[in-house]
Every structure is written in C-alpha cells, then in structure tokens.
Structure 1
Amino acid sequence: MTEIPPVLPLLSVVVPVRNEQGNIAPLIADIEAACASIGPFEVVYVDDGSTDGTAAALARIAGEKPWLRVVTHAQSCGQSAAVRSGVRHARAAIVATLDGDGQNDPAFLPQMLATLQEGGPEAGLVQGQRVGRKDTGFKRWQSKIANGVRGRVLRDATRDTGCGLKCFRREAYLSLPYFDALHRFMPALVAREGYKVLLFDVRDRPRLTGVSNYGFFDRLWVGILDLVGVWWLIRRRKRVPQIVAPAQAGEAR
C-alpha cells in the first residue's frame, strides 16, 4: 500500500513566549481564525524557559490542535534565539512571526502572506510597522529613539523594525548571520542578502494579560554594539554575487 505523503503547510507561524500563561489560549484562537482562509498551516510556539504555567497551557491545547507544535528551551535564551529555534523547526517555505503577548494582531497574516507571494522570489521579507501603538508613553519614546538612530545608521527605510509581525522566506532568514537581537535588524540584513523588503502597516493592540519581559536600560549598551556590528556587516558586503548557471554539455560557448 502506497503511503500518502503528509501535506506541508503553506505558512508556519512562529511565536516566541516566556511566562505568557494567560495569553496562550486567546492568541492561539486568534491565529487559528486568521489562518483558516490560508490553507494548510502550522503554529510553532517556542517556550523560552518559562517558569509559570505556559508549558502546561501549551501542552493542553497541543493535544487538541494537530497543527500546533511546541519547542521548549530548558532555560531562557532570549527572543532572537527563540525565533531561530522556531524557524528551524518550521516546515513551510514561508514563515510569519508575532509576539506572544497578544499585541500583534494575527488578522494581518493572510494579507502579509499575499504581499510576500505577490512580490515574487526576490521579495524576502514583509516587515510589519505598527500604527496606533498601545504601549506606555515611555516605551513609545524609547522605540522612537532606537528606530531613529538605527534608521540613520543603517538607512534601512523602515520606521519600526521592533514590530514582531513579520512574514519572510525561510531560506532568506536562515542565510542571515545569527546573533542575539537579530530580529530587530532583519530588514537591513535581508536587504544585505539581495532580497527586496516590503513594508506593511499593522494595527497594534493592548497586551492581553501580564507584563513585558523586556526592559530598556538592561539592553541599551548591547543594542548599540549590535547596531555597530550590523553596520560593519553591511559595509563588508559591497554587492551580492549573481550566480550564472554553467553551460550544459553540447551548448555553444
């Protein structure tokens, strides 16, 4: 009897989380509703060393949803590491990411996927840009400063690289040099690899429950070093090599 090969998903949605127990069920329900029109999809949650009931909440729902997969870090390794683990476990050629606190609205996923597909093979990333930020005034101020400095240094023409809503080609992401905080510099680095970066405005939502796991002053100096490193990487690659297929045997040369 011939075995029927499994149907690969058209989209893998990767969600990094740490201590987001109260946001698990409502966000998964939102993702399911948003992706229903796409076709086969999967959701890959990466539990980045949670110490609350996040793992139990994910295990319970995964038992009911065959398209939900869970990757677990034994200890917290950070958001970029969690995203990378999720992308490496993803089975679709196109991956979308969103934050696990519920502020990124999954309703935009079908439109972002369509935008990437319409962009053709040269389009590597659709970067979400938040409109109507629901964060505190201080957090909006720090994001404005960070995005302003990054934009002037890298000239990536993107006003909000910190938005967790992204849709990209898996192969493009895996070609990027990995480092902590990679997710905040993806537009510049994807463009460095020769891909086109498309921008997409998305509506921001208030956090569903809990508090942010990420601070400002504890990552300020590290962020400056990362910015310098990305600037150096871009400067080091002057042009992207264009591969020319070798002539086949018998062809005129």
Structure 2
Amino acid sequence: MSYRLTVVVPVYNEQDNLLRVEKVFKDYFEIAAVPTQVLFVNDGSKDRSQELIEEICARSEGFQFISFAQNCGLSAAIKAGFDYTTTPLVGYIDSDLQTTPEDFNILIKYAEEYDLVTGHRADRKDSFVKNMSSTIANNIRRAFTHDGMDDTGCPLKIIKTDYAKRIPMFRGLHRFLPAMIMLQNGKTIQVPIRHFPRIAGTAKFGLWNRLLGPLMDCFAYLWMKKKYINYDVAKRSDG
C-alpha cells in the first residue's frame, strides 16, 4: 500500500493501552481519509510494552516500530518518529488515546493548505489541577512564542514531513511544534477535536514539569529562534 500518513505513537510503559491502540487504529484504517500507518516509538519502556508492540507489528498490517536502548524522553521519541517517517505527512498521537485517531480525518482536511494542523482540546476531560496547570503553561508559551495557539500540548497533530524533519528537536521542544513550524515560515492552524478521560496507564507529567519545564523551555526556544537559519534555493543544477 502507498501510505500517505504515518502516525507516530510514542510509548513509555503503556502495556495496558497497547492492545486498545491496535484495535482503535485497525478500525480507523478502514475509514481513514488517506492511507495511514502507525509507527510505534518505544522510549525505553520497562514493562511489557516492547513485547506487545512486536506482537502487534507481526500480526497486523500497517504497524511498524523502532525501540530506544534507553529512556530518552517524549521529545526524542517524537523526533525519532519524524526522522524515520517516509510518507508525505506525519501525525502524532499519545498511546493513552485521550484523543482519537478518527479526528485525524478532521485535521487532514487542512493539511494541504497548512504545514502543521494541531488539535485543540476545547472540552478537556482531565482533572482541575491538570487543566489549570496546562492553561498556565500554554499562556506562558504563547507569551514567548506569539504562535496564537491555545493548546500546543494537544497530542493530535499532522505535519508535512519535510517541515517535521527540519525541526531541531531538543528536550522539551515537543511543546513548541507550532512555533518551530512558524520559524520555517510555515503555516499553522488549530482545529477543535474531541478529548476523553484516560482509561489505563498513568500520566508521565506532573504539576511541576507542566509548569517549570515549559518556563525553562521558553528560554531555550528564544535562543533557538535567535540562531535559527532559513534559506530558499532559487535554482540548482540537474543531476
């Protein structure tokens, strides 16, 4: 099959969610707006995640994986997924499935005109503390980046792969994907999507790394923005 979209699914100790990820995506493949495949990125899980991932990839078409030798963090997992993607479009979703693959069909409608399409969890199904800390963090990021995004941490995105591969990812920069596309003079848009409570597994980010982490990352972003290089090739030789 000639796939058009690769969905990167970072995994860190998500053994209780992976079979559900398989089922939900197999259902989604039947209704996907464009031919779609999944790329698991196992971020050094200590549970049975890798075993389950290999079983899924062996028995189900449309699933692939890469596995880190050790835990490197969410930014590294997303960056590796971008690097190993060969389709024109690359998506991202968390393995906790608090967002649904079905909503990629909403985002894909904008993927021709825009270089990044990100979801906006307008009706989040999280605790008050988690919602409030995320709101504060988003306000901090927006003040630094001026990206106009209300929910940069939403784990449902589609990016043109050429742009995704040029993102100079470092730890924490997964929170700045829209801003990093804008540094490339790319066009971004946010689109309302559905959000669901976590059914299994545990959240990997707490109150402090939702607030202090983003604040520190903002200064890294400002440094990156100052040093970032853009160029346009006007002409090249054949061959």
Regarding TM over 0.5, the answer is: yes
> What's the secondary structure of 1:75's corresponding residue?
coil
Q: Please name the residue that 1:180 is paired with.
A: 171
Residue from 164, 181, 195 that aligns with 1:204: 195
Distance 1:140 1:242 in 2: 41
Distance 2:170 2:233 in 1: 27
Is the contact between residue 34 and residue 110 of structure 1 (CA under 8 Å) also seen in structure 2? no
Q: What code does the residue aligned with 1:53 have?
A: R
Of residues 86-95 and 209-218 in structure 1, the stretch that sits farther from structure 2 once superposed is 209-218
Distance 1:57 1:206 in 2: 23
Shift in Å at residue 173 of structure 1? Answer: 1.1
Shift in Å at residue 176 of structure 1? Answer: 1.5
Shift in Å at residue 163 of structure 1? Answer: 0.5
Q: Please name the residue that 2:6 is paired with.
A: 12
**Equivalences for residues 1-253 of structure 1 within 5 A:** 7-37=1-31, 38-117=33-112, 119=113, 123-218=114-209, 220-236=211-227, 240-245=230-235
Residues 193-227 of structure 1, C-alpha deviations (whole Å, 9 max, x = no match): 01100111111111121211222324644432210
Is the contact between residue 34 and residue 109 of structure 1 (CA under 8 Å) also seen in structure 2? no
Is the contact between residue 8 and residue 91 of structure 1 (CA under 8 Å) also seen in structure 2? no
Distance 1:16 1:63 in 2: 18
Residues 147-170 of structure 1, C-alpha deviations (whole Å, 9 max, x = no match): 011111211100000001010011
Distance 2:121 2:2 in 1: 31
RMSD of aligned alpha carbons:
2.0
Distance 1:229 1:164 in 2: 21
> What's the secondary structure of 2:130's corresponding residue?
helix
Q: Which runs of 5+ in 2 are unaligned?
A: none
Is the contact between residue 141 and residue 215 of structure 2 (CA under 8 Å) also seen in structure 1? no
Is the contact between residue 134 and residue 210 of structure 2 (CA under 8 Å) also seen in structure 1? no
Distance 2:47 2:235 in 1: 53
Report the identity percentage. 29
Residues 33-91 of structure 1, C-alpha deviations (whole Å, 9 max, x = no match): 22323343210011111111212221222121121111111211101111111222222
> What's the secondary structure of 2:207's corresponding residue?
coil
- Post-superposition, which runs of at least 4 consecutive aligned residues in structure 1 deviate over 4 A? 239-242
Distance 2:211 2:132 in 1: 14
Is the contact between residue 136 and residue 211 of structure 2 (CA under 8 Å) also seen in structure 1? no
Is the contact between residue 175 and residue 214 of structure 2 (CA under 8 Å) also seen in structure 1? no
Distance 1:53 1:241 in 2: 45
Of residues 195-204 and 239-248 in structure 1, the stretch that sits farther from structure 2 once superposed is 239-248
Residues 101-156 of structure 1, C-alpha deviations (whole Å, 9 max, x = no match): 11011111122122102x1xxx2100111121111111101001000111112111
